[in-house]
Amino acid sequence: MACIAFLSGTTLEDVVKNGEALGLPKTGPYWNRGDGDFLAKPRRNLRLDLCVWKEVTKISASAELCIAIDTYDADREFDRTIVIHPLILK
């Protein structure tokens, strides 16, 4: 949610309120809401253009501006999500 707030230029509180209006529970855990369709809803409402998730092995193969999963633990279904921004790549 912090990545969505960063990219949409809004507050984390606004992103959370938007998510709650779409069915996100008021308190976590949120991992069980992690499917692509649900995650796309608050981004659409915050005027972010989305594309399909794709696997890349190098940052240079990613979109210039994107939300990416940096590390993923399949046993716990837990990840660390980061923003890749053009200013970071320079």
Residuewise pLDDT in 10s, the chain (90 residues): 888 888 888 898 988 888 888 788 888 777 666 566 666 665 656 666 666 677 888 878 887 788 888 888 888 777 888 888 776 555
pTM for the full model? Answer: 0.65
Residue 81, token pair as written in the block: 């999500």
- Cα–chain center distance at 74: 18
C-alpha to C-alpha distance for 56 and 64, rounded to whole angstroms: 13
Residue 45, token pair as written in the block: 């409402």
Which residue range(s) make up the domain with 41?
Answer: 2-89
Q: Is the peptide bond before 29 cis (omega within 30 degrees of 0)?
A: yes
- Please count the structural domains in the chain: 1
Cα torsion angle, 83, 66, 16, 12, sign: positive
C-alpha to C-alpha distance for 73 and 53, rounded to whole angstroms: 17
